[in-house]
Each structure stands twice: as structure tokens, then as C-alpha cells.
Amino acid sequence: MLDDYIDQVNQLLRPKTITDLKYLLQAFEGELSVEPEVKLTLGGPTFRQVVLPGELQPAEWPKYRYMLLELWKPTTPELQTVIDADRTQARAAVAQSLYRRRLAAYCEENRVDAATLTAAVKSDILTRSKDMHEGFLAAVVGKKVPLDRKMFEGNNQREAAPSVTSTDGDEVEVG
């Protein structure tokens, strides 16, 4: 079981092909293109943009657990059930945090109060957040992972929170 786990983590962290290298770099840095020349375009749906936007602090270590949950596909059905449940919960926490951060950034950039945002603006921000999260997951697991829009909204209505607050104070613990 431990060998399977290590092998699955190493599939991302120890690339064997150019495609594997592209996934690794996309997960952490940006998009790698090799034609006509080798070029790394920084940014996009990276770990830093989707999961952990700030400086790594000891309290943020559970966010790395989220990525490990995405990488690990246990072969034991009982363990798979537990990991799937944890992964779903962690995905929702990351999705909600990403959506709230993007809402706050929009409000700050446009100098508007979150409570005054229209449903169309919120929907657009949610769509872009969903696309970012799905792009990050595609890089981490090597295939498209569709996410439900409801996962980003969560059960709470924190969108109306003041838009001036620090995004670091609005983070959701994963794990």
C-alpha cells in the first residue's frame, strides 16, 4: 500500500516524459511549450493560484495534504472509500476558498462592495474559478476532472462579506 502511494506521488514529482514534465510545471509554475523553442509561461491555474496563494506558514501544511489526496488512488476498496470522501471534502474547501478570494479580488480591483455584485458577475467569477480549479486538477492528475458549480458556493453565503478584508484571513483549512 505504501509503495503504491509513493509510486503515485512520484508520477507527478518525477517526470519520465515531456508530457509528465509539462504536467509537473503546470501544477506548480505555469505552461511549458517546447515548439518552436522551450519556453515556460508563468502563471495560470497553479498550486499557488488555486490552493495556496500566500506565503507557506505552518498552518498551511494541510493544503499540501489536499494535493496528495488528489494524487493517491488506493487499490484497497475500503481505503479508496475513505480517500474519496476526504478528497471530495478537500476539493470543496479549496473551491470555496478560491471563489471567495476571486470575489474579493474582483471587488478590490473594481472598488465595489461584494453585496452589490449582480448574479451575472458572481456567476462569471464562479465560472473562472471553476475553470482554474479544473485546470489545476488536469495538471495534477493528468486528465480533466469536472467539478460541480455548487461545490464553489458551499452552504454559506460568505460572498457578501466585506471586500476589504485580507484574503489570508478568509482561508479555509483543508484537512
What's the pLDDT tens digit per position in 2-16?
788 888 888 778 888
* Residue range 135-151: mean pLDDT, rounded: 91
pLDDT single digits (tens) 62-96: 788 888 898 888 888 888 999 999 999 999 999 99
Residue pLDDT, tens place only, 110-141: 999 999 999 999 999 999 999 999 999 998 88
pTM: 0.74
Domain-wise residue ranges, the chain: 45-170
- C-alpha torsion sign, points 42, 10, 174, 55: negative
State the burial class of residue 147 (Cβ atoms within 10 Å of its Cβ: 0-12, 13-18, 19+). Answer: middle
- For residue 30, give the H/E element and its range: strand 30-33
Looking at residue 145, its pLDDT comes to 92
Beta bridge partners of 40: 32
| Alpha carbons 109 and 81: distance in angstroms, whole number | 42
> Cα dihedral angle (26, 47, 61, 11), rounded to 10 degrees?
-30
